[in-house]
Amino acid sequence: MDCGDGHGLAQPGYRPARADWTVDQQWCRYTPQDHATWRTLFERQTGLLPARASQAWLEGLNDLPIAYDRIPDFAQLNEVLHARSGWQVVAVPGLVPDEVFFEHLANRRFPAGNFIRQPHELDYLQEPDVFHDVYGHVPILMNPVMADYMQAYGEGGLKAQRLGYLPQLARVYWYTVEFGLVQESAGLRIYGAGILSSATESRFSLEDDSPHRIAFDTERVLRTRYRIDDFQESYFVLRDLDQLLELARIDFTPLYARIAGQPELEPGDLQPLDTVLQRGSGHYHHTRAPRV
Ligand code: HBI
Ligand code: FE
């Protein structure tokens, strides 16, 4: 098999070979070091997540050919994933333009970075790599509710872009798909991929007394800015995953009109109408350098 030139991030000025920005995964180009990085990350999360991740994500992981000792082969993932939920994973070199991203989601294709982080980036990196995308996002795409919600987000994203409300809609994605928590009978659980792929935030989001934990409300979240470079100051909690079904069916257009006249909220703000499940102490972010 021809393996091509290997993996690399899309550099500034990168011109995609294909209009949809997909590339071949080139599984045979991964080095022993790449697989070892996957293994380190996988084992760390496996120690943390059985009691912290949502049932839907745990079941998805269990049912997919995702092993501890090697980066998954997307073709093998897709055999199981596509049969279960109609989704496929496609390889991309890193972040892709918003409209390209939405177009994939709207067609039940999840774009996953094909590269893996370097050993000095185990805890944080800017672009989504194969660990974040495949370990964090893909298992829950086996769940029918999440499968429909993600497709609806892709369709909604294309529409929000036309209406000029993409920054607001992106907050819904952020506080659900990336950093969402859900109430389960056993207690609060994680379903957001940004948390599931982070050892430190897996603990912080559930156990630290610093962040607020607030019942999810769509209009509230549309107005709430978020942090991309640190733990969240507020997490929004679904009463169950089925709440995403309602969210997938909402026509956001009237909501955009409603929030147009309202102030934006900072990540750590509480509002009089919030259902606060746990009021955070804020100690973690108070000791961080102020934002500029
Ligand atoms: N590209 N590969 C990739 N992964 C993402 O999560 C992603 C993206 N492009 C745009 C994007 N996310 C977000 O900015 C949108 O959800 C708004
Ligand atoms: Fe992500």
> Mean pLDDT, to the nearest integer, of 237-263?
93
pLDDT at 292: 44
Q: Above 80 in pLDDT, residue 2?
A: no
Query: Is 59 within 8 Å of 85 (Cβ atoms)?
Result: no
Rg of the chain on CA atoms, in Å: 19
> Mean pLDDT, to the nearest integer, of 58-77?
98
Of ligand 1's listed atoms, the one at least distance from the Cα of 157 is: 17
Residue nearest to atom 3 of ligand 1 (CA): 95
Residue 19 CA to ligand 2 center (angstroms) comes to: 22
Ligand closest to the CA atom of residue 110: 1
Of ligand 1's listed atoms, the one at least distance from the Cα of 112 is: 2
Residue nearest to atom 5 of ligand 1 (CA): 95
Q: What is the mean pLDDT of the chain?
A: 94
Residue nearest to atom 14 of ligand 1 (CA): 98
Distances (CA, A) of 201 to 22, 49, 193, 207: 30, 11, 11, 9
Ligand 1 and 173: CB distance under 6 A:
yes
Two tokens at 29? Answer: 């180009």
What are the tens digits of pLDDT across the range 136-184?
A: 999 999 999 999 999 999 999 999 999 999 999 999 999 999 999 999 9
> Mean pLDDT, to the nearest integer, of 60-89?
98
Residue 107 banded pLDDT, cuts 50, 70, 90: very high
What are the tens digits of pLDDT across the range 179-197?
A: 999 999 999 999 999 999 9
Burial of 126 (0-12, 13-18, 19+ CB in 10 A): exposed
Residue 95 CA to ligand 1 center (angstroms) comes to: 6
Query: Is 199 within 8 Å of 132 (Cβ atoms)?
Result: no
Neighbours of 286 (CB within 10 A): 10
Q: Above 60 in pLDDT, residue 291?
A: no
What are the tens digits of pLDDT across the range 9-57?
A: 667 778 888 999 999 999 999 999 999 999 999 999 999 999 999 999 9
Two tokens at 68? Answer: 């501890």
Q: Above 70 in pLDDT, residue 243?
A: yes
- C-alpha span between 254 and 260 (Å, rounded): 10
Residue 290 CA to ligand 2 center (angstroms) comes to: 26
Residue 132 CA to ligand 2 center (angstroms) comes to: 6
- C-alpha span between 131 and 136 (Å, rounded): 7
Tokens 């943390």: give the residue. Answer: 48
Please report, rounded to a whole number, the percentage of residues in the chain having pLDDT higher than 90.
Answer: 87
pLDDT at 28: 96
pLDDT at 154: 96
Ion ligand 2: residues, CB < 5 A:
128, 193
pLDDT at 289: 60
Q: Which helix (H) or strand (E) holds 204?
A: helix 199-207
